[in-house]
Structure 1
Amino acid sequence: MTIAYDVTGDGAAVLLLHSTACDRRMWDPQVPVLADAGHLVVRCDLPGFGDTPMPVRPYDEPRDVLDLLDLLAVEEAAVVGSSGGGRIALEVAARWPDRVAALALLCTAMAGHEPGAELRAYGDREDALLAAGDVAGATELNVKTWLGPYADDAARAKLRLMQRHAFDVQLAAADEPPALEVDADLTRITARSLLVSGAHDFADFREIAAHLAGFLPRARHVELDWAGHLPSLERPDVVNGLLLDFLGAVSAR
């Protein structure tokens, strides 16, 4: 499937994969900083988000991402993934380890994780609001849920815009074809990894980060005491510094 994307800068490639509450606009605070630091910055909209329509046949998001790298003749990229984008980043790194130079995962999801009671309750509430036709209420639930206490009004407005657009795109589709399930062995990942979690996020995502840091090669886990689920929107300057330090250390090695 062809997915929407944009490219900024020149140099070592960095691919940005958005949260599934957002689209590629979530990376607006990161793109110029990474490009100014000498990176070719690629960001895309996953199927059903931003400018990428819903797929019409069973789809494979990690393969879509790899196809984008092939289209751009990018042999190797550092991959930065947020939440659901982190899940896809993990699968890309596991299925094609030679294509991923480094892996930075912000409050990442992970295939096979069984959600805890609080995360299930959130999902049930969202489903109930959408079933009742209250898309605005479901949007506000996501804004309240995913941003931490230090997010400003601009971050909340941006998330509201992206989440509402995603609902509009997805709910307008007649049927949603299934995502193809491909077994991705995460022990095949060879890239140096940075795991970031937020103290104000669901416990699930902190547990996933700690679990991954326990077996991914050369992994570092950083918990941000101020952060919710979307730290790159909440305090972009701090996250930009973390990413630049991590990518710089990878390049030095």
Structure 2
Amino acid sequence: MDLHYEVHGNGKPIILVHSGGADLRDWSYLVPLLAEHFCVIAFDGRGAGRSPSPTQPPNYVEDLLFLLDHLDISQAAIVGHSMGGRIATEFAIHYPDRVSELIVIAPALSGFPYSEEMQTYMLGVSAAAPDIEKMIELCIEPPSYEITRNRAERELMVQMLRHHFERTFTWSTFDSVWPEPPAMDRLQDISARTLFIIGDHELTDNQQVGEQFRRVPSIRFATIAGADHMVTLTHPEELSLHITPFVKE
């Protein structure tokens, strides 16, 4: 296993899959809360944090499987944030026996028709390369980062983004491998009990992703008041209050 990971606490295993543009520090404030009850595994995705850069198009879903196999974990609760939510969702569809519970926090979704506004935003960030400071400025400009921008947690968000963009310039490929058909076409196939969490200061696209998740047979929804897309940094206590009893059921 060449991915960097950390293990905290004891008990039922929970795997945390961080967002894009971040690393396992995405979970810095949530890990100690969950580790009071569970064995919490946080890891750096390929190309992030202290994990190696991809040398060929990475398959993040298979990387998650390799991590569980390496740790000899037959089944775990999988928690994914943003892009990590996309990975977690695909994993729950393709490896249902390995997932006891699925918790997605403001997840991205394979196959979702993202708005022109969202696509323009992403292209604008990329077009600012190689000016990393400009890329960061554009990345956190949308209203979905407004709360975190004005809190102390802004510094950690910016640190992760800066590290991420610096790392991407060393990657030999920007392609990635995803299962087909996309998860949006198979949400009804998710057998794990699922919890969908989102802040009330999210972009319309991410709210509409939540509407798609209503097709999951066994799903609950929770909204965190006063939270934006980086709810993992700003509202860890509220997240723990939702996740802990859900996984303990």
Residue 126 to residue 189, structure 1, CA distance change in 2 (3 Å): same
Aligned residue type for 2:9: G
The aligned counterpart of 1:200 is 201
Shift of 1:152: 5.1
- 3-state secondary structure, aligned to 1:120: helix
Question: How do 1:71-82 residues align onto structure 2 when only pairs under 5 Å count?
Answer: 71-82=70-81
1:210 aligns to 2:219 (yes or no):
no
Task: Quote the Cα distance in structure 1 between the aligned partners of 2:174 and 2:137.
Answer: 27
Task: Quote the Cα distance in structure 1 between the aligned partners of 2:7 and 2:227.
Answer: 28
Task: Quote the Cα distance in structure 2 between the aligned partners of 1:95 and 1:186.
Answer: 11
Task: Quote the Cα distance in structure 2 between the aligned partners of 1:117 and 1:59.
Answer: 26
User: Number of residues paired by the alignment?
Assistant: 244
1:118 aligns to 2:114 (yes or no):
no
Shift of 1:79: 0.6
Residue 219 to residue 151, structure 1, CA distance change in 2 (3 Å): farther
- Segments of structure 2 that go 5 or more residues without pairing to the other structure are none
Task: Quote the Cα distance in structure 2 between the aligned partners of 1:119 and 1:225.
Answer: 23
The aligned counterpart of 1:236 is 236
The aligned counterpart of 1:181 is 178
Q: TM-score, normalised by structure 1?
A: 0.90
Task: Quote the Cα distance in structure 2 between the aligned partners of 1:188 and 1:70.
Answer: 23
C-alpha contact 2:6 2:43 (8 A) present in aligned 1:
yes
Task: Quote the Cα distance in structure 2 between the aligned partners of 1:235 and 1:58.
Answer: 34
C-alpha contact 2:189 2:216 (8 A) present in aligned 1:
no
C-alpha contact 1:46 1:61 (8 A) present in aligned 2:
yes
The aligned counterpart of 1:108 is 107
The aligned counterpart of 2:49 is 50
Task: Quote the Cα distance in structure 1 between the aligned partners of 2:149 and 2:36.
Answer: 25
Question: How do 1:1-253 residues align onto structure 2 when only pairs under 5 Å count?
Answer: 2-37=2-37, 39-130=38-129, 133-145=130-142, 146-149=144-147, 153-173=151-171, 175-176=172-173, 178-183=175-180, 185-212=186-213, 214-248=214-248, 252=249
C-alpha contact 2:140 2:149 (8 A) present in aligned 1:
no
Shift of 1:74: 0.6
C-alpha contact 2:198 2:224 (8 A) present in aligned 1:
yes
Shift of 1:54: 1.7
Residue 150 to residue 134, structure 1, CA distance change in 2 (3 Å): closer
- 3-state secondary structure, aligned to 1:101: strand
- 3-state secondary structure, aligned to 1:205: helix
Task: Quote the Cα distance in structure 1 between the aligned partners of 2:188 and 2:21.
Answer: 28
Aligned residue type for 2:141: K
C-alpha contact 2:102 2:193 (8 A) present in aligned 1:
yes
Shift of 1:150: 5.8
Give % identity.
31
Of 149-158 and 215-224, more deviation after overlay is shown by 149-158
Shift of 1:229: 0.8
C-alpha contact 1:91 1:186 (8 A) present in aligned 2:
no
Aligned residue type for 1:166: H
Shift of 1:82: 0.3
Aligned residue type for 2:61: P
- 3-state secondary structure, aligned to 1:181: coil
Task: Quote the Cα distance in structure 1 between the aligned partners of 2:222 and 2:117.
Answer: 23
Q: TM-score, normalised by structure 2?
A: 0.92
CA RMSD of aligned residues (A): 1.7
CA deviations on 1:224-253 (whole Å, 9 max, x unpaired) are 3422112111222111211113222xxx3x
Task: Quote the Cα distance in structure 2 between the aligned partners of 1:165 and 1:16.
Answer: 19
C-alpha contact 2:224 2:238 (8 A) present in aligned 1:
no
Aligned residue type for 2:73: V
